[in-house]
Amino acid sequence: MPANTLMINGKDVEVLQGESLLDACTKIGINIPTACHDSRLEAYGGCRTCLVDLDGAPRPVPACKTFTSPGMKVETSGVVLDTVRTTVDEMLACSSRAAIETWTDANRFIGYDPAQCIMCDRCVRYCDEIMQCNALEHVGQGSEAFIQPTQGESFLDTSCELCGGCVGTCPTEALYSKQSLEVFDKQSGEAPTTTRTVCNYCGVGCIIDIETQGNTVIDIDAQTGVGPNDGHLCSKGRFAWQFINHPDRLTSPLIRNYDNGELEETSWENALAVAAQKLSAVKQQYGADGIAFLASSRCTNEDVYALQKLARSVIGTNSVHSCAAT
Amino acid sequence: MTNSIAEIENSECMLVVGSNTTDAHPVLALRMKKALRNGAKLLVVDPRKTWLAERADVHLQIKPGTDIPLMNAIAHVIISEDLHDKQYVETLSEGFEEMSEAAAEWPVERAAEICEVSANDIRRAARIYAGYKHAGIYYTLGITEHVCGVDNVRSLSNLAIITGHIGHEATGVNPLRGQNNVQGCNDMGNNPVYFPGYQEVADAAVTEKFSQAWGSKLSQTPGLRLDQMLDGMHDDSVKALFVMGEDPVLSEPNAKHVHVGFKKIDVLISQDIFLNETARLYADVVFPATCFAEKEGTFTNSERRVQRVRKAVDAPGQARPDIQIIFDLAKQLGHDWGEAQPSKVWDEFARLSPQFSGINYERIEDEGIQWPCPDVSHPGTKILHEGAPIRGKGKLYPLDHIKPWEEADDEYPLTLSTGRTLYHYNSATQTLRNEGHREKEPECFFEISPDDARDLNIADKEAITVQSRRGSIVSWAKVSEKVRKGVIWMPMHYAEASANTLTGDGRDLKVGTPEYKLCAVRLHKS
């Protein structure tokens, strides 16, 4: 695309044709506040937080929805703009919305707090444009407005896929994760830690941020612009993490008691010694190919590399395979 | 995948075969949804009316197991109507004549009859696929889990090659991997005929290289595939099995037969995060392992991108990282490999595997790299076969229909197919332990077409018994337009109603992949 030259805050700036003023400003390090903007959604211009002055325009214009053309002159700050932005902020933080009695929903993942809602419609647009599920709607006007599941039905009974993308795109905490709220310990005062890693479900390889407090997972989220997923997650990726701290997890090595047939707890030392002794005995009696190794494609590369090396170089067999064979 | 995930949104045409992408790969499907929004054409081949099928320009709702006749017919339309890329075929492919002769055996009408779809729809699909430059093929296990899985894949690569839809943006032949590290598990040499990095066991020089690197004389005898291991348990050639993170009595077909094998072996060692069914019943020793959030390492996604896995929490109790357990066991068996450090293990792999040598932890700290990546100055490979196929010329295969292992008949008149739902994952040890997902889909069900339901006098939500020659399951009927007449479908997630009670012994004739996608069943009210 051919480049345009325009002037932002008195400086000449080269931009691509069709780029928004918001993108142009971001590119040269000018930070313009936004609220209804999500780069993955179509430009909306609904909240007016990103207003800038455009030479020749009768009033400030939204930077997210104004597209660059040659010769434009733009100012991103000034007395009038500051006043307008303050007014816009006050309008968005419409305090009377806190009094609205809205819905509660039986689903265990997505909750809504109208007091936090600024009616930017990011959630509704995300659900329509990206998910194409149309499971959320904007109801009413002005200080009476709120967001609800389409037709006021439960998320569990509509086209909602419980992906939580609405929670992910929400710029406030109006839409929130119920699971997170349940386990987050506010009293402790301990700030959450973020660890960037890869989702453990399907093969798309979504990059996720695991939020933890102490040794407890309290949330999983993703960042726009990061990884093959660009901040999107599915229901499993975002919400199916209770298994990590689940009481069913194995916490000790087990060994079979052949007298009663039960698996019983034992020490690592003993478990490793018994396993090694049993494998050696089979190898001695039947040869290395009497032993086979089965790996999982859920494990890391390093785990499965180590396993095939164990099979080949320690035991001496090439009988190592996995569920990845399908 | 020959191509990359982000490209999908730039598609002009998508041919989605045997993949319920919005349920099984929901985030990748968002790229498809975006392409659709931008006006891309969509062709879906699936016995089920999936979300994508409902929005497709052409939905070929074929009878399960008839992919090759369909793809041959599509190839034949493309060639006979002169829609193929003659320059690509001439300069960059081989075997065109044999392939086109085999395809010509499947005129549209013949294929339409066996696939039970409209001949005109086959023609339309062929013309649309051939008519766009940025046309990609996406498939999953609906293609591979058949007796003819390998040939099914070849039937798709035939289409990509004759149209030249390979080696550039938003094209190619793209398997969508079902699990987080299917790609990596193969790359790492968890395969009886390949060492790490797809280096053949049969090659003496390769075996010598690994023997030297690992300091022990390695065997050149090819090992057993998973299906052969299960056979070996029956004929006493396999006496011990070490299982890391798998639950074969639930996940392998014809479960009753699998149990018999496990009862015969002398030693089973299991390593997992939960006490799975196989371990509970048969393990001699169980090692408690760590889940992805508790360890360092890498996963390699469908687009060949190696990405960093990082530890967020400590493992519970005495559970240890899988890699640590393997190092400990090696030491116990007299091989001290030193410290079990994931980055060192990766470096050893990369040093020995030329296509991966340029990738290290430092380089992928912020963003993953796609292999092939032969050296540290290489940026990684977004699109395979760019300019020309890696092997020089794209190989075209002459193919013919191969019947499934078990077809519906008078006694068992319905065809059962299996798959994944949006809310659960494989044997569901993780998702069924999440309250919200369990509540959303708590138990097994069978999708049945309104026609079959009427014929069998079965109402929606009615309790039914489904029987195959191997076993039976009691569950309930979900009368749904999603499945075609003659086909029922069930999710594979529920231990108490395990699909493998019903599935049979069909296996891919070349690589042994089980035919999970169809077997013959009958059903009646419970």
Residues of B in contact with A205 (CB under 8 A): 180, 299-303, 305, 307, 368
Residues A150 and A225 occupy one common structural domain: no
My answer on whether A129 and A173 are in the same domain is yes
The nearest CA of chain A is from the CA of B336 a distance in Å of: 10
Residues A80 and A125 in one domain: no
DSSP for residue B453: H
Query: Is B188 within 8 Å of A301 when comparing Cβ atoms?
Result: yes
Give the pLDDT of residue A100. Answer: 81
Q: For residues A304 and A321, give the distance between their C-alpha atoms in angstroms, rounded to a whole number.
A: 10
Contact A252 B196 (CB under 8 A): no
Res A295 pLDDT > 90: yes
CATH of domain B182-370: 3.40.50.740
Residue of A241, A286, A320 with shortest CB distance to B190 = A320
pLDDT at B37 (0 to 100): 96
Average pLDDT over residues B422-449: 92
Q: Indicate the range of A308-317, B28-37, B492-501 predicted with least confidence.
A: B492-501
User: What's phi and psi for B356, nearest 5 deg?
Assistant: -120, 0
* Judgement on whether residues A136 and A119 belong to the same structural domain of the protein: yes
The domain boundary residue, chosen from A36, A69, A92: A92
Task: Give the residue on B whose Cα is nearest the Cα of A285.
Answer: B239
Chain B hits for A298, CB-CB cut-off 8 Å, are 179-181, 245, 292
Q: Do A241 and B327 touch (CB under 8 A)?
A: no
Name the percent of chain B in helix, strand, coil, to the closest 5. Answer: 35, 20, 45
Q: In a 10 Å sphere around its CB, with 0-12 CB exposed, 13-18 middle and 19+ buried, how is residue A128 labelled?
A: middle
**B430 to A251: CB separation less than 8 angstroms, yes or no:** no
User: For residue B211, what pLDDT is reported?
Assistant: 98
What's the pLDDT tens digit per position in B4-26? 999 999 999 999 999 999 999 99
In chain A, % of residues over pLDDT 70: 98
pLDDT band at A2 (very low <50, low <70, confident <90, very high): low
The architecture CATH gives domain B414-525? Beta Barrel (2.40)
Q: Which of A62-71, A106-115, B99-108 has the highest mean pLDDT?
A: B99-108
| Cα B203 to Cα B442: distance, rounded to the nearest angstrom | 50
CA A206 to chain centre: 9
CB contact under 8 A, B284 and A255: yes
Residue numbers in B near A306 (CB within 8 A): 322-323, 326-327, 330, 340, 345
pLDDT, one tens digit per residue, over B269-291 is: 999 999 999 999 999 999 999 99
Which of A161, A286, A299 lies closest to B322 in CB terms?
A299
Chain A positions touching B272 (Cβ under 8 A) are 250
Residue A4 confidence (pLDDT) above 90: no
Which of the residues A245, A309, A315 would you substitute to probe the B interface, choosing the one with the greatest number of B C-beta atoms within 10 Å?
A: A309
Token pair 């086209």 is found at A159
Element (H, E) at B473: strand B472-479
Mutate to test the interface with B, among A254, A264, A305 (most CBs of B within 10 A): A305
Share of chain A above pLDDT 90, in %: 78
Contact A324 B368 (CB under 8 A): no
Interface contact A291-B239, CB threshold 8 A: yes
Where does a domain end: A92, A110, A130? A92
Facing residue for A250 by CB, picked from B319, B328, B422: B319
Question: In the predicted model, is pLDDT for residue B57 greater than 90?
Answer: yes
What pLDDT score does A16 carry?
84
B30, B284, B313: residue with CB nearest A256: B284
Place of tokens 């999500």: A38
Q: The CATH number of the domain where A228 resides is what? A: 2.20.25
d(CA A46, CA A279): 67
> Cβ–Cβ of B238/A290 closer than 8 Å?
yes
Q: What is the pLDDT of residues A174-183, one digit of tens each?
A: 999 999 999 9
CB nearest to A242's CB, from B221, B422, B435: B435
From A249, which residue of chain B is nearest by alpha-carbon distance?
Answer: B274
Domains B182-370 and B414-525 fall in the same CATH topology? no
Distance from CA of B422 to the nearest CA of A (A): 8
pLDDT of B122: 98
Residue B494 has pLDDT above 70, yes or no: yes
What is residue B496's predicted lDDT score, i.e. its pLDDT? Answer: 87
Nearest residue of B to residue A262, measured between CA atoms: B280
Residue A14's pLDDT band (cuts 50, 70, 90) = confident
Contact check, Cβ <8 Å, B319/A300? no
Question: Which candidate, B14, B74, B75, B78, places its Cα nearest to that of B50?
Answer: B14
Distance from CA of B470 to the nearest CA of A (A): 22
Q: What CATH number does residue A125 fall under?
A: 3.30.70.20
Task: Please judge whether A279 and B333 are an interchain contact, meaning their C-beta atoms are less than 8 angstroms apart.
Answer: yes
**What is the distance in angstroms between the Cα of A126 and the nearest Cα belonging to chain B?**
11
Q: Which fold has domain B6-176?
A: Dimethylsulfoxide Reductase; domain 2 (3.40.228)
Separation between Cα atoms, residue B480 and residue B478, nearest integer Å: 6
Q: Name the residue type at position B111.
A: A
Most distant CA pair in chain A: distance in Å?
Answer: 91
DSSP state of A2: -
Residue at a domain's end among A48, A64, A92: A92
Residue A117 is predicted with a pLDDT of 92
Is the CB of A316 less than 8 angstroms away from the CB of B219?
Answer: yes
Q: Is B457 exposed, middle or buried (0-12, 13-18, 19+ CB in 10 A)?
A: exposed
- Chain B positions in Cβ-Cβ contact with residue A254 (cut-off 8 Å): 275, 283, 285-286, 288
CA distance A42 to chain B (A): 12
Residues A178 and A208 in one domain: no
CB–CB contact B310 A291 (8 Å):
no
pLDDT tens-digit map of B175-215: 999 999 999 999 999 999 999 999 999 999 999 999 999 99
How many distinct structural domains can be found in chain A? 4
CA of residue A96 relative to chain centroid, distance: 30
Same domain, A264 and A278: yes
Contact (CB, 8 A) for A198 and B307: yes
**CB–CB of A204 and B301 under 8 A?**
yes
pLDDT digits (tens, 9 = 90+) for B211-240: 999 999 999 999 999 999 999 999 999 999
Question: Is pLDDT at A3 greater than 80 in this prediction?
Answer: no
A7, with CB counted inside 10 A (0-12, 13-18, 19+), is middle
Could you state, in order of their start, the residue ranges of all structural domains in chain B?
6-176, 182-370, 414-525
Arithmetic mean of pLDDT over chain A: 93
What residue in A sits closest to B291 (Cα-Cα)? A244
Structure tokens at A225: 């612009």
Q: What is the DSSP string of B351-371?
A: HH-GGGTT--TTTTSSS-EES
CA–CA separation, B221 and B209 (whole Å): 16
What average pLDDT does this structure show over A307-314? Answer: 98
Tell me which chain A residues have a C-beta less than 8 angstroms from the C-beta of B37: 129, 132
Mean pLDDT score of chain B: 96
Does residue B301 contact residue B368 with C-beta atoms inside 8 Å? yes
- Inter-chain contact A197–B309, Cβ cutoff 8 Å? yes
Cβ contact B307:B368 at 8 Å: yes
pLDDT at A88 over 90: no
Contact B143, B152 (CB under 8 A): yes
Residues of A with CB below 8 A from B346's CB?
301-302, 305
Q: How far away is chain A from the Cα of B159, in angstroms, using its nearest Cα?
A: 22
Contacts of A289 in chain B (CB under 8 A): 219, 221, 223-224, 237
Q: Read off the pLDDT of each residue in A226-242 and give the average, rounded to a whole number.
A: 97
Instruction: Output the pLDDT for position A78.
Output: 86
Query: Is the domain of A7 the same as that of A87?
Result: yes
Domain, as residue range, for A210: 186-236
Return the sign of the alpha-carbon dihedral for residues B124, B126, B128, B131: negative
Backbone angles phi, psi at B368, to 5 degrees: -70, 160
Backbone angles phi, psi at A14, to 5 degrees: -90, 125
Beta-carbon count within 10 A of B480 CB: 18
Closest-CA residue in chain A for B237? A290
Contact across the interface for A321 and B516, Cβ inside 8 Å: no
Count contacts between A and B (CB, < 8 Å): 459
Whether A325 has a pLDDT exceeding 80, the answer reads no
For A120-153, what is each residue's pLDDT tens digit?
A: 999 999 999 999 999 999 999 888 899 999 999 9
Chain B residues in contact with A237 by the CB 8 A cut-off are 27
Q: Could you identify the residue written with the tokens 């231990």?
A: B495
A113/A82 same-domain check: no
CB-CB under 8 Å, A300 with B309: yes
Q: Is the pLDDT of residue A232 over 90?
A: yes
From residue B338, how far is each of B334, B345, B514 by CA, in Å? 12, 11, 39
**Order of all β-strands in the sheet with A216-221:** A193-198, A207-213, A216-221
Max CA pair span of chain B: 68
Contacts of A286 in chain B (CB under 8 A): 237, 239
A287 lies in some domain: yes
Q: Are residues A43 and A123 in the same domain?
A: no
Give the nearest chain B residue to A308 (CA atoms): B190
| Axis-axis angle for helices B149-163, B67-80 (nearest 10) | 20
Closest CA to B8 of A200, A235, A228: A228
Residue A326 has pLDDT above 60, yes or no: no
Give me the mean pLDDT over the A86-106 stretch: 81
pLDDT band per the 50, 70, 90 thresholds, residue B505 = very high
Tens of pLDDT along B97-153?
A: 999 999 999 999 999 999 999 999 999 999 999 999 999 999 999 999 999 999 999
Parallel, antiparallel or unpaired: strands A207-213 and A216-221: antiparallel
Q: How far apart are the first and last CA of chain B?
A: 44
Residues A169 and A209 in one domain: no
Cβ neighbours around A152 below 10 Å, total? 11
* Residue A95: predicted pLDDT: 65
In a domain, A243, yes or no: no
If you ran DSSP here, which 8-state letter would residue B483 be given?
B
Which tokens belong to B498? 């395990």
In a domain, A218, yes or no: yes
Q: Report residue A198's pLDDT band, with 50, 70 and 90 as the boundaries.
A: very high
- Give mean pLDDT, residues B55-83: 98
Min Cα separation A34/chain B (Å): 24
Over range B379-404, report the average pLDDT: 97
Of B214, B229, B424, the CB nearest to A309: B214
CA B84 to chain A, closest CA, distance in angstroms equals 31
Residues A111 and A80 in one domain: no
Q: Report if residue A242 sits inside a domain.
A: no
Chain A hits for B242, CB-CB cut-off 8 Å, are 279, 291-294, 307, 311
